Amino acid sequence: MATAATEATNMDQQVDLSTIPISPKGAENASEAKDDSKPVTVFHDKDNFNVKHPLQNKWTLWFTKPRAERYAASDLEGDNWNDLLKEVITFDSVEEFWGVYNNVAPVSELALKSDYHLFKAGVRPEWEDPQNKHGGKWSYQYKDKRNVDVDRLWLHVMMGAIGETLEEEDDGEVMGVVVNVRKGFYRIGVWTRTIGKSIPGRGDGDVAGGKGRSSEKGKDILLSIGRRFKETLELPSNEQIEFSGHTDSAHAGSTRAKAKYVV
């Protein structure tokens, strides 16, 4: 895990997180931690640390709590949806990520109809958000819930997002990652800024996610993200993951939208 987490630092030199000194329990400030002869790492004390290795972007964790029975299915719109979607915390360092991860419930313990959303700060995990409305998502459903280690897979997907390893540095496509807990499956997804095509009203030279990007280049980038995502999910080559646009999903229903791309 330390090796995978190290990749998330996005620094010139890799850092072994097991050697990072942090404030021991009971230390009131960083100077006390420096005087301690036996450094305590982020793995020894998940709450008390003072050394930070910055991420390339700030990220916000969101949680969708299960809706109350008084809500009809059609009520998951407008204010009711906003009531269910809760912003948990924003962080911008490797250490803060582990502090958050170690203090929230694992996916396997969430109630049915719960979701975690990990998105770049300033982007709401909604189709209507200005930075999402022209985009789409790669997703895969694990239907055999008893035989999938969803906690480990979700951790790897989150680290791929914050470590910027799901795409190349200048791609600018990945907006966030999502996990859904449902009665019959777990679903994990990666949201992107575009669907691999020019945004209406803009030329190919001004596509969100990269200036000077042609539609063909945009498609290639999305397919590359899909392949990396599939590898992170540890899926065999004969399994497929699908990409669909948010607009199509909004019109057809998230589970019925026609796939634009498949890898």
Give tens-digit pLDDT for 121-173: 999 999 999 999 999 999 999 999 999 999 999 999 999 999 999 999 989 99
Q: Is the pLDDT of residue 2 over 80?
A: no
For residues 17 and 138, state if they share a domain.
Answer: no
Q: What is the mean pLDDT of residues 206-234?
A: 84
For residues 47 and 57, state if they share a domain.
Answer: no
For residues 21 and 113, state if they share a domain.
Answer: no
Q: Is the pLDDT of residue 22 over 90?
A: no
Give residue 47's domain range: 1-51
For residues 38 and 127, state if they share a domain.
Answer: no
Of 48 and 172, the structure prediction assigns the larger pLDDT to 172
For residues 69 and 31, state if they share a domain.
Answer: no
Stated pTM of the model: 0.76
Q: How far is CA 152 from CA 62, 159, 211, 236, in A?
A: 19, 11, 36, 17
For residues 77 and 149, state if they share a domain.
Answer: yes
Both tokens of residue 182? 């449902």
For residues 6 and 129, state if they share a domain.
Answer: no
What does the pLDDT read at residue 226? 98
Place of tokens 């949806």: 81
Q: Which amino acid, residue 154?
A: W
Domain count, the chain: 2
Confidence grade of residue 201 (pLDDT, cut at 50, 70, 90): low
For residues 130 and 30, state if they share a domain.
Answer: no
For residues 118 and 147, state if they share a domain.
Answer: yes
Residues sharing a CB contact under 8 Å with residue 158, sequence separation 6 or more, in sequence order: 97, 101, 118, 177
